[in-house]
Amino acid sequence: MTFKDAVQFHGHSCPGLAMGFRVAETALEALDFDRSTDEELVAIVENNSCAVDAIQVVCGCTFGKGNLQFRDYGKQVYTFIKRPSGEAVRIAVKWKPRPENEQEKTMWQRYARGERTEDVLRVVHARKAKKTKDILVAGAEELFDCRRFTADQPETARIYPSLRCNQCGEKVMEPKARTKNNEVFCIPCYEAHLNP
């Protein structure tokens, strides 16, 4: 898989996607592994940034297969575990981009406030393009702190039966269903039932 493949999946090129691409490359190299076709490789991601899209494409780790686990810590940290050996690598981003010049700072602040004028977009997109290029050409040692270790085996994906919610009639997977007075509820209906 190439960065171009990641861009096609994600929809556009950006620094976050480039970082995820480099994380994925580094993980596969560290674990001497190719792309996961089933659950042979598990990725545990600690954020829900653009980077995760590149990890899905390059590593073959997805929510649907159950080998992509999301921990909402807001950290640029990614752990990969190879089955059945338990060989693992934890990759923490340490890279610092080149400092912004005054114009870039000003335009980024305007962009963050919602301004999308041609001048603002030109400067912001140019800055993003520079950062993306810098990430793609940097050495892994400049981008990441990597720690190899042996991990416990994560549980494989499980398929659960579906139950029908007594309130809305929609199906809900059994472990996510809630019950009250012997009635089955999906989470939104259960919460609405508790707080009418």
Bridge partners of residue 159, in order along the sequence:
none
* 162-194 shares the fold of 3-95+138-150: no
CATH architecture of the domain with range 162-194 = 2-Layer Sandwich (3.30)
pLDDT the model gives residue 194: 75
CATH superfamily, domain at 3-95+138-150: Tubulin/FtsZ, C-terminal domain (3.30.1330.20)
Q: What is residue 46's predicted lDDT score, i.e. its pLDDT?
A: 98
**pLDDT recorded at residue 150:** 96
Q: What is the mean pLDDT of each run of 10 residues along the chain (196 residues)?
A: 97 98 98 94 98 98 95 98 96 95 94 95 95 98 97 84 95 94 94 79
pLDDT at 41: 97
* Domain extent listing, the chain: 3-95+138-150, 99-130, 162-194
Give residues with Cβ within 8 angstroms of 44, minimum separation 6.
69, 71, 78, 79, 80, 81, 154
Cβ–Cβ under 8 Å, residues 144 and 27:
no
Report residue 31 CA to chain centroid gap. 19
Q: How many other CB atoms are there within 10 angstroms of residue 190's CB atom? A: 21
Position 196 scores a pLDDT of 64
- The confidence score (pLDDT) of residue 159 equals 86
Supply the pTM of this predicted model. Answer: 0.86
